[in-house]
Amino acid sequence: MTADTYSLVKPALELRNLSAWYGESRALYDVSLDVKPGGVVSLLGRNGAGKTTIVKSIMGLMNRREGSVRFENRETIGLSPRKIALLGIGLVPEERGIFGTLTVQENLMLPPVVRDGGMTLERIFDLFPNVRARLTAAGNALSGGEQQMLAIARILRTGARAILLDEPTEGLAPVIVQQIRKTIESMKEMGFTILLVEQNFDFAARVSDAFVVIENGRVVDRLEGPLGSAEIESVRRFLSV
């Protein structure tokens, strides 16, 4: 391995011994994981395992977090959510986080551009034709699927290179889920670094390079894709218990 390829596989997002608290109660215990540049890593685990808490901790949204979160070699543990966002980490939050009092267009234009190389509106509209069709609608007038498209579209505009996708398929019809899978696949081709939280293991298995299994706020297993059928069975059994 040459020096160049080595630097390429250095993780874009690097969590070391990350702990976090909700008030007095500890929610994460020494979570360590890497996402390589252009890689897709899925966090798997049952409801309440701590997957969303990991996403929130990366964004600095917990009132107390300790350990290390490095993004492109920069320590972010002491930074505010705003500074973290401006470094180029885009959030597609759980329940989509569309602002209901803003129009679709206002939602789309809301996050400031953090870096050159974000997608043009034309490209975004090519990817998500329904977003273009509903630009003047209020955010809370959209269907769940449309909101999810908008939540992703809004981050693609900013030039963020790493994207945290929290349960993008939750509560959506299969046809929409398929559309979101295609979107994630094309984002992967474009070289985005993605950390995906997903309850739907079959969905996660199809788009991810690696899997981190979370239980009670801890990492209990790590798997590299593609998974063999025995591994798939064991993960599925673990998630369904």
Partner 1 sequence: MSFQLLAGQLVLGLINGSFYALLSLGLAIIFGILNIANFAHGAQYMFGAMLAWGLLEYAGIGYWYALPLVFLGAGLLGLLTEAIFIRRMYHVDPLYGILLTFGITLMMQGVFRNYYGVSGLPYSVPASLSGSWNLGVMYLPIYRVWVIVAAVVICFLTWYTIEKTRIGANLRAATENPTLAEAFGLNVPLLKAAAYAGGVGLAGLAGAFAAPVYSVNPMMGSEIVIVAFAVVVIGGMGSIKGAIIAGFSMGALEGLAKVFWPEFSAMVIYIVMVAVILYRPGVDIFGRKV
Interacting residue ranges for partner 1, rule: CB under 8 A: 59-61, 80-82, 84-86, 91, 93, 97, 99-102, 106, 109-112, 114, 154, 158
Report the nearest approach of partner 1 to the CB of residue 117 (Å). 16
**Is 18 or 44 the residue whose CB approaches partner 1 more closely?**
18
Q: Are 31 and 19 in contact (CB under 8 A)?
A: yes
Question: Is the bond leading into 11 cis (omega within 30 degrees of zero)?
Answer: no
**Rounded CA separation 145/42 (Å):** 21
Nearer to partner 1, 111 or 217 (CB): 111
- Of the pair 28, 44, the CB lying nearest partner 1 is at 28
CB of 88 to partner 1, least distance (A): 10
Measure the CA–CA gap between 52 and 16, rounded to whole angstroms. 17
To partner 1, the closest distance from the beta carbon of 237 in angstroms equals: 35
Residue with smaller CB distance to partner 1, 25 or 63: 63
> Can you state the angle between helices 144-156 and 174-189, rounded to 10 degrees?
10
What would the two tokens of residue 202 be? 């079959």
Radius of gyration of the chain (CA): 17
Q: Which amino acid is at 157?
A: R
Distance in Å, CB of 222 to partner 1, minimum: 27
Tokens 């696949």 sit at which residue? 185
Considering only CA atoms, which of 87, 89, 150, 86 is closest in space to residue 124? 150
CB of 193 to partner 1, least distance (A): 17
Contact by Cβ (8 Å): 192, 23? no
In this structure, which amino acid lies at residue 42? S
Q: How far is the CB of 80 from partner 1 (least distance, A)?
A: 7
**Runs of H (alpha helix) within 27-80:** 51-59
16 close to 33: Cβ distance less than 8 angstroms: no
Q: How far is the CB of 98 from partner 1 (least distance, A)?
A: 10
Measured from the CB atom, the residue of 78 and 174 that comes closer to partner 1 is 78
166: left (phi over 0), alpha (psi -120 to 50) or beta: beta
58 versus 177: smaller Cβ distance to partner 1: 58
Complex with partner 1: residue 65 or 181, whichever CB lies closer: 65
